[in-house]
Amino acid sequence: MRTLALHEDLIVVVSAIWQTTCTLVRSGEEGFVIDSPVLPEELEALPSLAEQAGFPVSGLLATHADWDHLLGRLAFAEEGLGLGEPSFERLNAEPGDAQRRLRGFDEEFYIDDRRPLGLGGGQALPVPGRLSLGADDAAELELHPAPGHTGDGTAFWLGWLGTLVCGDYLSPVEIPMVSPGGSAAVYLQTLARLAELVDQASSVVPGHGRPLGRADAQRVLEEDVAYLEKLIAEGDAPLPEGRRTGEQKAIHAKNVAHQVGGGS
């Protein structure tokens, strides 16, 4: 697990698996944890990391309802979990799915003794919408709709820090992934919305991979748009340079199958 301090009020943790990111943000005496690392030892270390850095944890947020972004409750069991309304609805429509997928991951990688994941009592947040943090009126998270990767998704714009936390978009290590419920065409629409925020950002935190500066995020966005436009138009597309590993080729094959099978 890598820990990166992007600002005195912003820390990003990058998991050793899939480079899944977790963002800690604070304003005064309040703070949020957005998304989560994956491995048990990383989750166990998260409360101590927050305490040592002086980051209060007032609540948990998730960019979408994929299981690997929902594990904050394993680190902060007493904190409420806020989800954009589409993600909250998806979680309720798929009871137990995140837990089953977590158990499948643990079985595959021989991880045992993990505590059960409790996701009850979550809070639905309006998207688009705003969420205040602390007593400073300027510290306000903007919630922007971000479907396409899946049918749900929320990007968080931390304007006072010039930071975009965008979930599974703009990854320097992963090509656009169109999962069940997602859509390549809708993914493109989300990228168009995110482009306006990227142009204002000093840092962008993708769901997978290191945080990016504005220029690198703009480059990744352009590559992702070109990939998706070609995929939609021709049913196939070359992978972006630097993201042509065997795993990314497997993701691409699923994207092609989704598109050929009627995904839009």
What are the boundaries of each domain within the chain?
Answer: 2-260
Helix, strand or coil for residue 23? strand
Strand partners, 188: none
State percent of the chain over pLDDT 90: 92
Strand partners, 213: 203
**Which carries the bigger pLDDT value, residue 67 or residue 135?**
67
**Which carries the bigger pLDDT value, residue 242 or residue 138?**
242
28: pLDDT strictly greater than 70: yes
- Rg of the chain, C-alpha, whole Å: 17
Sole residue written with tokens 């396409």: 148
120: pLDDT strictly greater than 70: yes
Which structure tokens are listed for 172?
């320097």
Predicted confidence at residue 262, as pLDDT, reads 63
- Please tell me the distance from the alpha carbon of residue 13 to that of residue 163, in angstroms, as a whole number: 15
Task: State the average pLDDT over residues 10-20.
Answer: 97
pLDDT bracket for residue 105 (50, 70, 90): very high
The identity of residue 226, as a single letter, is: A
Predicted confidence at residue 113, as pLDDT, reads 86
Under DSSP, the state recorded for 226 is H
87: pLDDT strictly greater than 90: yes
Cα angle for residues 27, 29, 34 (degrees, 5° grid): 55
209: pLDDT strictly greater than 90: yes
203: pLDDT strictly greater than 90: yes
Contact 158, 174 (CB under 8 A): no
Looking at domain 2-260, what is its CATH homologous superfamily? Ribonuclease Z/Hydroxyacylglutathione hydrolase-like (3.60.15.10)
Contact 93, 87 (CB under 8 A): no
How large is the angle between the packed helices 214-234 and 246-260, nearest 10 degrees? 40
Task: State the average pLDDT over residues 169-191.
Answer: 96
The identity of residue 170, as a single letter, is: L
DSSP assignment of 77-135: TTS-EEEEHHHHHHHHHSTTHHHHHHHHHHHHTT---PPP---TT-EEE-SSEEEE-SS
Predicted confidence at residue 263, as pLDDT, reads 61
91: pLDDT strictly greater than 80: yes
- Please tell me the distance from the alpha carbon of residue 261 to that of residue 264, in angstroms, as a whole number: 9
Q: What is the pTM of this model?
A: 0.95
Measured in residues, the chain has a length of 264
